[in-house]
Amino acid sequence: MANIIHKIRQAIPDIDTYREILDTITRNKSRSFLTGFGVFWGVFMLILLIGGGQGLKELLAKNFDGFASNTVFIFADRTTKAYDGFRKGRQWCTTDVDVERLQNQIPELDVVTPMLFAGSSTAIYGDKKTNGNVKGIKPSYEKVQASKIRYGRTLNEMDDEKSRKVCVIGKKIYQDLFSPGTDPCGQRIKVGNIYYQIVGVDFNSSSISINGRSTEAISIPFSVCRKTYNFGNQVHAIAMTGRGSVKMSSLSDKMRSIVARAHHIDPTDERAISVFNTEMMFSIIDSLFSGVNFLIWLIGLGTILAGAIGVSNIMMVTVKERTTEIGIRRAIGATPKMILSQILSESLLLTAVAGMSGILFGVMILQMLELANTTDGILEAHFQVNFWTAIFAAILLSVLGTAAGLAPAYRAMAIKPVDAMRDE
């Protein structure tokens, strides 16, 4: 029974010990504050840089909002090389047959969908009007560039098959024609000389200009666009995505060759058959932020380490100032382990409090940045660190706090009562 009581007493934290540690740290408030501020600032900068870098990456990625990372667009332009008896400067266009060729001859492709561009038109609703870019698309285009539907729905197969005069409008078109918070679905707008019923509002904010910005787009069914503007079998652009992890850059030459052969164009004429690959854009961003993240961690960890060294130096000074006190403790029976524990606890507490304050303050600032980047109730970017990054920072603080106290603790352990009295 006595052994059990003894173990329970050992398990209960010694309040007096913690009170003594706190008293020691607060004995010289200015010095403790300035020492802890070094750790606080290092952790704060690390959290702020990581979260800010993540938010900046998402903001840049907004330029490709909704686009699949393995997307390719093919556009036709004037030839710049003479080929197969045809002179250079010849105007040509892709057709429905090219869509079938690419789908049938390149099994690595997942989606192959045609697009038509009708140019800029004035959209009118009541006494309000604005300019928008009309494009004809098929429902499969949703797999190329995903919509952010705020109201209604996207275009579907029935819209295209039955040539319904319906449309999905972009964010700017909606804001120019309708009051904020109004659901425009079911309303009719006049685009050019034709009335279209709105079935959806797309808040996609991509800056990639495929016949204009997404915010200014008026998307109508492909069949309706073809008949309305008398485009025949022309296709202004062909959008494609690859299956799984297929790299579209490896298929670019094959795509160009298939289309070039059918239209008697030099396969090396990159101007005549323009290939736009989003994979390159995503790759540039990933490479850029890999370097940025490396610099962030290098700067952040360096600052934290400098703060920890500052803690170690101050603890050294503290130990020297308390030489007599430590000697008296040894004289009345304190073991080296108790002295070691005392100094390490002081170092760990100072580092942990300063570091956790840095984490909390950093997260608070990042939260404010998120609120500042919210538009129409939609969060533009996440300026936050993930859970495991915060856990890693907490563990790192504990390790550095312990390491910072080791040298002062061993120095304190080496103090002998006789030497302490002589120092007095």
Give the lowest-confidence range in 82-91, 366-375, 408-417: 408-417
Q: Is the dihedral of CA 382, 387, 392, 395 positive or negative?
A: positive
Span 108-164, pLDDT tens digits: 998 999 999 988 899 999 899 999 999 999 999 988 888 889 999 999 999 999 999
Give the pLDDT score at 163.
92
Rounded to whole angstroms, the Cα distance separating 287 from 377 reads 31
Span 3-58, pLDDT tens digits: 554 444 444 446 666 676 666 666 677 777 777 787 788 788 888 888 887 777 77
* Of 89 and 1, more confident: 89
Span 257-267, pLDDT tens digits: 999 998 999 98
Rounded to whole angstroms, the Cα distance separating 396 from 375 reads 36
Whether the CB-CB separation of 192 and 123 falls below 8 Å is answered with no
Give the pLDDT score at 421.
53
Rounded to whole angstroms, the Cα distance separating 168 from 10 reads 71
